[in-house]
Amino acid sequence: MATEISNITKYLLATHVIDFSSDAFNIMLVADGFVFDKDTHEVYGDVSGSELPTGNGYTAGGAVLGGIAITRNDVDDRTEITWNNATWTANGGPIGPSPGAIIYDDTVGAPVKPIIQYIDFGGNQTQADGGMTTVANPETRIS
């Protein structure tokens, strides 16, 4: 999975708006055809129209991310922010197709719900009814 951090995240970190140690973060799935633009996709409202709709086990707004860990990595010269797996169970039909997921900060009020990053699945993924969709250990790297 390829990931791409948004430009707004870098700015909001530098201006002390985003706080990974105390803010709440969500992860949402985007629909087929979505193309991430790290320059113009700044907040949840910029991409909400491309989110998978509520249904079949998925709820618009995505899932709350828990279990955050922030690690300093001097070997690779970066900071790594990871969360526990995000999981949805398909019920009543498939979830997807989805080419990726977006992590956003659900705490920040100005700008409202800034996008942290996009996770590219490398192609559309669809979970059949009864199966489980998992984004394993979502991670943001700040170099």
Nearest-CA neighbor of 53 among 117, 98, 112, 118?
A: 98
- Mean pLDDT across the chain: 96
Q: In this prediction, what percent of the chain has a pLDDT beyond 90?
A: 97
User: What's the pLDDT at 50?
Assistant: 98
Residue stretches of the chain with pLDDT short of 50: none
Look up residue 53 and give its DSSP letter: P
Alpha-carbon gap, residue 25 to 15, rounded angstroms:
18
User: What's the pLDDT at 143?
Assistant: 87
Alpha-carbon gap, residue 129 to 126, rounded angstroms:
10
Residue 64 carries which side chain, given as an amino acid letter? V
The structure tokens listed for 56 are: 């079949």
0.75 surpassed by pTM: yes
User: pLDDT digits over 23-37, tens only?
Assistant: 999 999 999 999 999
Query: What are the extents of the domains in the chain?
Result: 2-136
